Amino acid sequence: MSVTFTRRRTAAAVLAAALLVPLAACSSSDAGRKDTGGAKSSGSSSGAPAASLTVLAAASLTDVFKTAGAAYEKSHSGTKLTFSFAGSQELVAQVSQGSPADVLVTADTKSMDKVKADTGAPAIIAKNRLVIATGEGNPHKIAALKDLAGTRLKVVLAAPEVPAGKYSKQILDAQRITVKPVSQEPNVRAVLSKVELGEADAGLVYRTDAESAEDKVDAVEIPDAQNAIAQYPAATLKDSKNAEAAAAFVAWLSSPEGQEILQDAGFQKP
């Protein structure tokens, strides 16, 4: 009896030891998974550090940055982008007031220059041009800038402190055309909205804005000799708590992938 009992105890011990081997392996695998999960917060599949980034961007970038953001997050696992779109003058005010953010992208270099003490070195990521946005089908048969001076037309422009407003004033003044707008809007997308809704007969917007609403407005091209070139600088903010990740996103905007998305949306090469 004692021999049988001893054999049973020995067999049980061998079985227990055998069972412990896969358990130990599982424990080691779990630990590895935990370590990997912890590392995910400090790195991404692309090699850039993972982070939650807040990007302050000019209103005219609204549509293209939504597309770009989705593409960036897909190729940079662990990175989350939150965009805040407004007129460049509003974005500059936010930065000056210490609003927490990581990246700033404006629709002109002058706006960026106003906060150069708060940013890293900016890089031009795209260019744009103005067009005349009219109601669908161009019911008033607007063909050129000079037509905007017509007293029967309801024309809306961006406010003078907005980049699109500055460019509009620049080209109208150069052609000695006097336009009395029915309203001056805080950003270019508000100008586009007025035309879309039929609250204005025409407005000066960026070519990309008109293309984003091509089923609702028509775009009348302005000859290059009468037009202005809008430049979009992007820069990291010095107070960013995610400096490396912010710099990676700014650099990506100038990469082949980022440039393809911008140019597919109608923006021009830097």
pLDDT of residue 48: 65
- Domains identified in the chain, total number: 2
pLDDT of residue 46: 54
Task: Tell me: do 74 and 207 sit in the same domain.
Answer: no
- For residue 221, tell me if it sits in a domain: yes
- Predicted structure pTM score: 0.80
pLDDT of residue 119: 97
- For residue 256, tell me if it sits in a domain: yes
Tell me how far apart the alpha carbons of residues 56 and 226 are, in angstroms, rounded to a whole number: 30
Tell me how far apart the alpha carbons of residues 123 and 17 are, in angstroms, rounded to a whole number: 63
Tell me how far apart the alpha carbons of residues 93 and 78 are, in angstroms, rounded to a whole number: 30
Beta pairing partners, 119 = 237
Residue with tokens 């002058």: 110
| 3-class secondary-structure state, position 119 | strand
- For residue 28, tell me if it sits in a domain: no
Six-digit token pair at 230?
A: 């809008």
Domain range for residue 247? 52-126+232-264
Task: Tell me: do 61 and 150 sit in the same domain.
Answer: no
pLDDT of residue 156: 97
Tell me how far apart the alpha carbons of residues 167 and 163 are, in angstroms, rounded to a whole number: 6
Per-residue pLDDT of the chain (270 residues; tens, 9 = 90+): 433 333 334 444 433 443 333 333 333 333 333 333 333 334 555 566 778 999 999 999 999 999 999 999 999 988 999 999 999 999 999 999 999 999 999 999 999 999 999 999 999 999 999 999 999 999 999 999 999 998 899 999 999 999 999 999 999 999 999 999 999 999 999 999 999 999 999 999 999 999 999 999 999 999 999 999 999 999 999 999 999 999 999 999 999 999 999 999 999 999
Phi (first) and psi of residue 71, to 5 degrees:
-65, -40
Task: Tell me: do 165 and 222 sit in the same domain.
Answer: yes
Question: Contact at 8 Å (CB) between 140 and 134?
Answer: yes
Task: Tell me: do 72 and 148 sit in the same domain.
Answer: no
- For residue 42, tell me if it sits in a domain: no
Beta pairing partners, 133 = 203, 219
Task: Tell me: do 118 and 246 sit in the same domain.
Answer: yes
DSSP 26-73: HHHHHHHHHHHHHHHTT--TTSSPP-EEEEEEEGGGHHHHHHHHHHHH
pLDDT of residue 3: 38
pLDDT of residue 47: 60
Tell me how far apart the alpha carbons of residues 218 and 140 are, in angstroms, rounded to a whole number: 11
Cβ-count burial of 183 within 10 angstroms (0-12 exposed, 13-18 middle, 19+ buried)? middle
CATH number at residue 88: 3.40.190.10
- For residue 13, tell me if it sits in a domain: no
Task: Tell me: do 170 and 240 sit in the same domain.
Answer: no
- For residue 270, tell me if it sits in a domain: no
